[in-house]
Structure 1
Amino acid sequence: MSIFSEWTSALMPHLILAPIMLPMFTAAMMLLLGEERQRAKLVINLASTLLGLIVAIALLKWSKATGGTASMGVYLPGNWPAPFGIVLVLDRLSAMMLVLTSFVALCSIIFAASRWHRAGVHYHPLFQLQLMGLSGAFLTADLFNLFVFFEIMLAASYGLLLHGSGRTRVQAGLHYIAVNLAASSLFLIGASMLYGITGTLNMADLAQSIPSVAAADRGLLHAAAAILATAFLIKAAVWPLNFWLVPAYSAATPPVGALFALMTKVGIYTIVRLWTLMFSSEAGASALFGSMWLIGGGVLTMAFGAIGMLGSQRFSKLAGYAAILSSGTLLAATGFGQNELTAGLLYYLLSSTLAVSALFLLSDLVERWRNDGSSFSPYDEDETAPFLTPELTPQAGTNFDEDEEVLVGRVIPAAAAFLGIAYLMCTLVIAGLPPLSGFIGKFAMLTALINPLGMGSSAGMQLGTPGWTLVTLMIATGLIALIALTRSGIRVFWASHARTAPRLRLVEALPLAMLLLASIMLTVKAEPVMRFTQATANMLHAPGTYVKAVMSTRPKPGPVAHEAPSLPAESAMGSATESATGSRQ
């Protein structure tokens, strides 16, 4: 047993590199296969994604095994100490995001196996490169490599968004590329300014350097941080910089849309990571810098997302606005800088991501059912077309009472019942209604907002006007989301008795069931999950642990060179004399 423990402890630090290297090698391998080998690529993609999920779960268990700096894994790929070399850090937050990413990706690729992976070229390599970028963004510990992984992630997303071609996808893809290129430029400008002020891009070193920045340079520091934050806020879909998200995500194929539900969470993750490190309560004159901007932007984003849901009827657009709504909630909660509120928002992040991903997958099945399976494309070119099918459009003289009489005693097809239950669960989670995980996440955040001085609460903003505004909006936007989702559900499920029963394949129903089952498990296991997110939040708001773990990690010593055996003193002197004599001769 001790040998196994020693082997595990020696292997686990190197396993930190696996979430990056595994998809990179898988993508390279699949590029060597021709496009006619789609089945082989699918099998390789599925196997690699499943293995990545297993690795992520192992890393998650390792990260929560012990407390303090021992619960963090620090890996130095170049064997150079921080802040001079590349550093990868695994803590509770990054491990949680890795598991979430791998799980959603597995559900996405299973769903794509039904037909979507054949709609274009290089789907599988791009999918793996997307996973590589996402994993690298969660693990890296310096801004430069964060930019590198962001660009890998975005480059892959450009190809995935255009997968399947079509005028709508190309148009939305061009807007998406232009906006993200602008965000990348802001990223470079902000990172360059921070480097000029502090002389470092390592996140832990930045946390050490910011409190000692000269007063004359602090305004420039805040400007650099604001420019950098703008790049992340664009990716997090903050209002008014989120006009690109719904057209792009709704135009993408459904499995890609489900995977893209993680993209806004990357922006949220980066803001939470950097803001708690650089502008924590220990940052001196820069403590909690930008908190009101985060709260204000988050509140406006919540309002925009809720209004967008109310004005949408298609499931894909509802899912896009639901992603914006959840992103705004997370941003506003982050700005308060309280560990108990952060614990609730991390739980809500898990729940909302699963629900939005499930709604993207559900949109494909519902649209196909609406079109009686006649169209390979899940979206009509004419966005103004009525949501109801011609058979369901009310006609003059229609007697709805007679139609209702016909429904009495009719058995609901199993596939239709499955879709209806899945949609109901998505509605409950997104609206934050009991008994599912969306309610638990919102309830935890509301409790922390109303009782900010609870046991173990860290220093941060008190309730005040911003807090009451967020409390009101969380309740109001939940109600608006419920109205919007219920209205669309009635039009699709309640008024669908004239349609033929939907046909579902196992590879389509399985990933949707997996996402919903994960949401149920979050509800059933709410207590241990909340304990985990609370421990994660406590470490985030005590950045000294992260800084100490990164800065105290030393490179591994290299192999010791074998020295030549030394000669006796007389022999050495004689050899030296002979050498000198020979050289004179």
Structure 2
Amino acid sequence: MSFGQHLIIAPILVPLVTGALLLLIDERRRSQKAMIGLASTIILLVVAVALFRFADGIDGPETARQGVYLLGNWAAPFGIVLVVDRLSALMLVLTATLGLPALIFALARWHTAGSHFHSLFQFLLMGLNGAFLTGDLFNLFVFFEVLLAASYGLLLHGSGLLRVKAGLHYIAVNLAAALLFLIGVSLIYGVTGTLNMADLAERVASVEPQKRMLLEAGAGILGVAFLIKAGMWPLNFWLPPAYTAAAAPVAGIFAILTKVGIYVVLRLSLLVFGEGTSTSSGFGLQVLLVGGMATITFGAIGVLASQALGRLAGFSVLVSSGTLLMAIGLGSGAITTGALFYLASSTLTISAFFMLIELVERGQDAGASVLAVTMEVYGDADEDEPEQGGEGVALPGTMAVLGICFAACGILLAGLPPLSGFVAKFAMLSAMLEPTGSGSAAVVPAIMWLVVFLIILSGLSALIAMTRSGIRTFWASMEGTKPRVLVIEVAPVLLLLLATLLLTVQAGPAMRYMDATARALSAPHQYIDAVRNARQVGPASAEVQQ
């Protein structure tokens, strides 16, 4: 095995060992625990970038490789496998890129608001990385439970009635999702006799007709479990309250949690139910398309109706999930390319926005947003007060920085040029408006026009909501107080926004990577062959090799 292949297990081992070690350190030694956790997260980012380069290929995008790690040196499908390809490497980098700023932000004050914050944070990273790397459904369930258990503790971190109430709803819904996960996996195993994803993809085509309905029922139940996590309507009632109630750094890393559901749906829909799976080809795509359209509509309405910035961010998560589900449901490789770019851009933006909200609202009264909206509707008794001519109001440096960050988030969420949100939406819309057919019969399907309308409408909703909130917060704030913001708090927000800027500047190479990822997903035989042909280290028994 090459060095790159040995690195595959590092994103799981590093946070696992770190989290366990931090449990042994007394809670009063928070500074020591913080430094260990920070060092671990930096190492994770370095490893993720190394795996990203490994998956993309050293000599160019056409030489991309798929690394397979055989745990216990057992060949697939008998043993557990970890697989890194372009898609999983992208998700690893995205997770580490969100994890480091979120942890830095928490070091200002949030990591002292409860017990075992750093251990829970590391276990969450472990569960996320494991879910993106695993090559079989059983271990997907294991890592899914690890990240959920850690997220329960992180959501409740900091106590408070609102947080506890939202946390209990969050726990109940995700426990139900885990139960559905087990039922779906059991049905699939009962029909196919395997849980290895590559082996499952090969066996689906040969499933007997009388058992195919049971297989699809299991896949449907499994899909519901992950669509709950992805926040598809009507399964998303729990998400805005939970994300709004979470502490700012927790909500920042939670921005990637919905993408776990998106990742699994994308992976399994193209690997297991892609072309060549007989009558099950394209299974569930129509549900994803309709569900995505409903989700983006619900999210856009929620964005417009939100009076508090936290709920606006929560509904923005739903808009992001709805857009991605809709793109997957269309089943086009070109649209998937833009969707992957949008996945990276929107996740970075929403994470930055969640942390920015705490800084912006720190100088405001808790009911200021609701009161401001009420004043907009019913008017203000002092609105006719004469202007104070000639004297301008000096804008404090802190508010200037926060205002620039807020404007950048608004531009990114609305998909306006020139930032990465516009590039992502332009790529998707261009692919959607590409005529199908040949010659004079080439037309754009009617469903595409509806999808395009919803994407544009969601951007307009974000623009209106962010503009209204920005004016209320920075231009016509009723308090007029300057929030006290530490450098360690504003720096993570700037880092995430700089990441979106880098994504914009490097849009060409990034789009080529996304296109190569989409093409690889559309050709599942590469993934299957890599897993099936993975060689064991050292002498292997003849029974296992057979």
* TM-score interval (norm. to shorter): over 0.9
Q: Aligned equivalents of 2:260 and 2:383: distance in 1?
A: 51
**Residue by residue, what CA displacement relative to the aligned partner does 1:453-498 show, whole Å, maximum 9, x if unpaired?**
599xxxxxx9523322211100111111111111111110111386
Q: Aligned equivalents of 1:501 and 1:70: distance in 2?
A: 50
Residue equivalent to 1:569 = none
Residue equivalent to 1:83 = 77
Residue equivalent to 1:227 = 221
Residue equivalent to 2:446 = 465
Residue equivalent to 1:517 = 498
Q: Aligned equivalents of 2:495 and 2:81: distance in 1?
A: 34
**Residue by residue, what CA displacement relative to the aligned partner does 1:139-158 show, whole Å, maximum 9, x if unpaired?**
00000000000000000000
- Tell me, yes or no, if the aligned pair for 1:316 and 1:359 is still in contact at 8 Å: no
C-alpha distance 306-162 of structure 1, shift in aligned 2 (>3 A): same
- Tell me, yes or no, if the aligned pair for 2:307 and 2:370 is still in contact at 8 Å: no
Alignment partner of 1:51 out of 13, 32, 43? 43
Report the CA distance between 1:64 and its aligned residue.
0.6
C-alpha distance 454-126 of structure 1, shift in aligned 2 (>3 A): farther
Residue equivalent to 1:419 = 402
In structure 2, give the amino acid aligned to 1:31: L
Report the CA distance between 1:336 and its aligned residue.
1.4
- Tell me, yes or no, if the aligned pair for 1:315 and 1:359 is still in contact at 8 Å: no
**Residue by residue, what CA displacement relative to the aligned partner does 1:74-116 show, whole Å, maximum 9, x if unpaired?**
0001111111100000001101100010010000001001101
Report the CA distance between 1:271 and its aligned residue.
0.4
Residue equivalent to 2:429 = 446
Q: Aligned equivalents of 2:261 and 2:145: distance in 1?
A: 13
Residue equivalent to 2:20 = 28
Residue 11 of structure 2 is aligned to residue 19 of structure 1: yes
Segments of structure 2 that go 5 or more residues without pairing to the other structure are 542-546
Q: Aligned equivalents of 2:326 and 2:348: distance in 1?
A: 20
Query: For 1:480-519, what aligned pairs fall within 5 Å after superposition?
Result: 480-496=461-477, 499-519=480-500
Q: Aligned equivalents of 2:501 and 2:437: distance in 1?
A: 28
Residue equivalent to 1:369 = 363
C-alpha distance 556-164 of structure 1, shift in aligned 2 (>3 A): same
In structure 2, give the amino acid aligned to 1:134: L
Alignment partner of 1:131 out of 112, 125, 130? 125
Residue 412 of structure 2 is aligned to residue 429 of structure 1: yes
Report the CA distance between 1:509 and its aligned residue.
1.0
Alignment partner of 2:295 out of 282, 291, 301? 301
Report the CA distance between 1:396 and its aligned residue.
2.8
Residue equivalent to 1:162 = 156
- Tell me, yes or no, if the aligned pair for 1:49 and 1:106 is still in contact at 8 Å: yes
Residue equivalent to 2:283 = 289
Residue equivalent to 2:371 = 386
In structure 2, give the amino acid aligned to 1:386: L
Residue equivalent to 1:478 = 459
Residue equivalent to 1:108 = 102
Query: For 1:531-570, what aligned pairs fall within 5 Å after superposition?
Result: 531-558=512-539
Report the CA distance between 1:159 and its aligned residue.
0.2
SS of the residue aligned with 2:83?
strand
Residue equivalent to 1:61 = 53
Report the CA distance between 1:559 and its aligned residue.
9.4
Query: For 1:263-274, what aligned pairs fall within 5 Å after superposition?
Result: 263-274=257-268
Alignment partner of 1:360 out of 349, 354, 361? 354
In terms of Rg, which structure is larger? 1
In structure 1, give the amino acid aligned to 2:469: S
**Residue by residue, what CA displacement relative to the aligned partner does 1:123-168 show, whole Å, maximum 9, x if unpaired?**
0000000000000000000000000000000000000000000111
State percent identity of aligned pairs.
Answer: 54
SS of the residue aligned with 2:286?
helix
- Tell me, yes or no, if the aligned pair for 2:14 and 2:40 is still in contact at 8 Å: yes
C-alpha distance 463-37 of structure 1, shift in aligned 2 (>3 A): farther
- Tell me, yes or no, if the aligned pair for 1:344 and 1:533 is still in contact at 8 Å: yes
Q: Aligned equivalents of 2:437 and 2:243: distance in 1?
A: 39
Number of equivalenced pairs? 533
SS of the residue aligned with 1:223?
helix
SS of the residue aligned with 1:89?
strand
- Tell me, yes or no, if the aligned pair for 2:324 and 2:339 is still in contact at 8 Å: yes
Query: For 1:1-20, what aligned pairs fall within 5 Å after superposition?
Result: 10-20=2-12
SS of the residue aligned with 2:335?
helix
SS of the residue aligned with 2:120?
helix
Residue 507 of structure 2 is aligned to residue 526 of structure 1: yes
- Tell me, yes or no, if the aligned pair for 2:248 and 2:355 is still in contact at 8 Å: yes
Residue equivalent to 1:575 = none
C-alpha distance 452-274 of structure 1, shift in aligned 2 (>3 A): farther
- Tell me, yes or no, if the aligned pair for 1:68 and 1:545 is still in contact at 8 Å: no
Q: Aligned equivalents of 1:454 and 1:10: distance in 2?
A: 46
Residue 65 of structure 2 is aligned to residue 71 of structure 1: yes
SS of the residue aligned with 1:81?
coil
Residue equivalent to 2:116 = 122
